[in-house]
Chains A and B, each alone.
Chain A
Amino acid sequence: DTEVTQTPKHLVMGMTNKKSLKCEQHMGHRAMYWYKQKAKKPPELMFVYSYEKLSINESVPSRFSPECPNSSLLNLHLHALQPEDSALYLCASSQGLASYEQYFGPGTRLTVT
């Protein structure tokens, strides 16, 4: 199984809502990543987890809260988002930290109204 899955595929939420994005992989990878991608732009790194511990937080606003409950799962909790947070949110995993090949999920298209 060489697949990273993400749910939901699409999400529309209001600025006062609380929602969560989920990511799962069963490749035994120990590093997992969250990226944000705006249209026609490259992905921007948000968070990196290594061995279920947060390794990198790229100065992401606290309205985004990551969680890694186990080595296969990665969540991104969303609260009080702004319309400019609308984007494609990508999850990725790799065997180890960034020197290894990253496998991306299909993404969650988030729209904040």
Chain B
Amino acid sequence: KNQVEQSPQSLIILEGKNCTLQCNYTVSPFSNLRWYKQDTGRGPVSLTIMTFSENTKSNGRYTATLDADTKQSSLHITASQLSDSASYICVVSAIGDRGSTLGRLYFGRGTQLTVWP
């Protein structure tokens, strides 16, 4: 069964600290993995997207890693800011049936990050 599991479910950190969010998936055949940031009541905003051959990608203070062998990804946030408070969603795309590019997106339930001053 194709699933995406994220941990922790929620996290509270102090401003300026670093944190790491985890994502494990069982989606197959794997196409790509994305991390989105979603503020409450707003649409998700893409942070990174990684394919099978990529094992790290950075976007400012956000660094994502991917281990396609163990089917694990992490999102590391450095020097956290109050504006980082949001839900971080891991999304895995599967290659569609019969080799088509139509794939399904599998969403994790998100990690709710709160940054305190």
Binding site for B on A (CB under 8 A): 4, 6, 40-43, 45, 50, 55-56, 88, 90, 92, 96-99, 101-107, 109
Contacts and interface: CB of A to CB of B under 8 A. Distances in A.
Interface in B33-69: 34, 36, 41-46, 49
A97 B103 CA distance: 7
Contact of B93 (A90, A99, A103, A106): A99
B75 to A, nearest CB: 16
B38 to A, nearest CB: 8
Contacts, number: 57
22 contacts: A6-B43, A40-B112, A41-B109, A42-B108, A42-B109, A42-B110, A43-B107, A97-B101, A98-B31, A98-B93, A98-B102, A98-B103, A98-B104, A99-B32, A99-B93, A99-B103, A101-B46, A104-B36, A104-B44, A104-B45, A105-B43, A107-B43
Given A98-B93, A107-B41, A42 B107 contact: yes
Nearest to B46: A101
B46 A99 contact: no
Contact of B105 (A55, A90, A98): A98
B104 A106 contact: no
A103 B46 contact: yes
Given A41-B109, A97-B102, A99-B101, A104 B89 contact: no
A98 B109 CA distance: 19
A103 B49 CA distance: 12
B95 interface: yes
A19 to B, nearest CB: 19
Contacts of A43: 44, 107
Nearest to A48: B102
A96 B95 CA distance: 13
A74 to B, nearest CB: 14
A99 B36 CA distance: 15
A4 B46 CA distance: 13
